[in-house]
Amino acid sequence: MTAAVEGNRAWVQILSPYRTPRTSRSVFELLVTAVPFVLLWTLMWASLSVGYWLCLLLAAPTACFLMRLFMIQHDCGHGAVFRRRATNDWVGRILGVVTLTPYAFWLRAHALHHANAGNLDHRGSGDIITMTSDEYRAQSGFQRLIYRLYRNPFVMFGLIPTYLFVLHYRLPIGLMRSGAQPWISTMGTNAAIAGFVALLIWLMGAGAFLLVQAPVVVISASIAVWFFYVQHQFEDTLWAHDGDWSFPEAALKGSSHYELPAALAWFTGNIGVHHVHHLCSRIPFYRLPEVLRDHPQLASLGRLTLVQSLHCAKLALWDEDQQRLISFRQLRAGNEAAPRLG
């Protein structure tokens, strides 16, 4: 294992030249995302006079652009959009008002996720709650029910995303005793959101605002959570205890390469190249395809197609004996000759 880890560490040095952002490209990517989002959102408002069916049709592309703004905010948090940290931070803060995500609070929680992804001894820091098979067996009937409800696709990708962005991010939950910064970030973002929403309601009315904003938030939030889920919750991912865990190995083997059609890859800011992102998070999202082009051997690691990813929704438990994620059905079957998904 030591040799494998050393080999994985070598990739950190190999990929370091890709970390430099190109300011003109970053500004371009920001503009071609923000401007269409504003135009589509305005068009949704105008379409209310025609019929709500048209407004709902426009909600999907509008949500996709909002999702991309969130991905740009995400890269700002990694210092990967602009060369100056202050520029990244201010752009991230402004985008946080639009994405309903307090920048500094989210940044700290996300940093914990990157530092501990795939570590069985440090779960629960900005990640999807994942039990091992043995842990699940040891739970009471009620605790199992709660976990099964949490992992239910309707809850995971339907209810939780909206709760997360609309309610959960209104308080620095998880970092409430971590000093003033998470509170300042959260309350400052809340105040800016409240002011912006008040202005829009004054312009268009509360009813029209909700009819436009609600479907955009629900759709974009669900997309965001799905991508976050599938990037680590795939069958051949990697989880390990402290003694066997290493950052580079967790990045390359515990994160997927979600191979998507070009349009989806664009809207999601190439976040599907997640194994490379976890290994070197300072690489700007628009340079991730460049990494795969120059180093094609990375493309096969953790490769997951769109069709294959649909099976990941069934997975719920890390089986330490088989070293893979399994479903509740496979657990009930005793994991005996369980068919591999995908």
What are the pLDDT digits (tens) for 144-167? Answer: 999 999 999 999 999 999 999 999
Helix 180-204 vs helix 103-116: angle between axes, to the nearest 10 degrees? Answer: 130
pLDDT grade, residue 333 (50/70/90)? confident
Structure tokens at 59: 């909600």
What are the pLDDT digits (tens) for 270-307? Answer: 999 999 999 999 999 999 999 999 999 999 888 999 99
What are the pLDDT digits (tens) for 256-273? Answer: 999 999 999 999 999 999
Report the percentage of the chain scoring pLDDT > 70: 95
Note the pLDDT of residue 208. 97
Distance in angstroms (rounded) separating the CA atoms of residues 216 and 60: 7
Note the pLDDT of residue 178. 75
- Antiparallel, parallel or unpaired: β 131-132 and 303-305: unpaired
Residue the block writes with tokens 């008040």: 198
**Residue extents of the structural domains in the chain:** 2-129+153-308
Note the pLDDT of residue 29. 98
Distance in angstroms (rounded) separating the CA atoms of residues 234 and 299: 16
Note the pLDDT of residue 8. 67
Do the beta carbons of residue 259 and residue 292 sit within 8 Å? no
Note the pLDDT of residue 340. 56
Note the pLDDT of residue 338. 47
What are the pLDDT digits (tens) for 75-98? Answer: 999 999 999 999 999 999 999 999
Instruction: Provide DSSP, 128-181.
Output: ---EEHHHHHTS-HHHHHHHHHHHSHHIIIIIHHHHHHHTGGGTTTT-TTS-HH
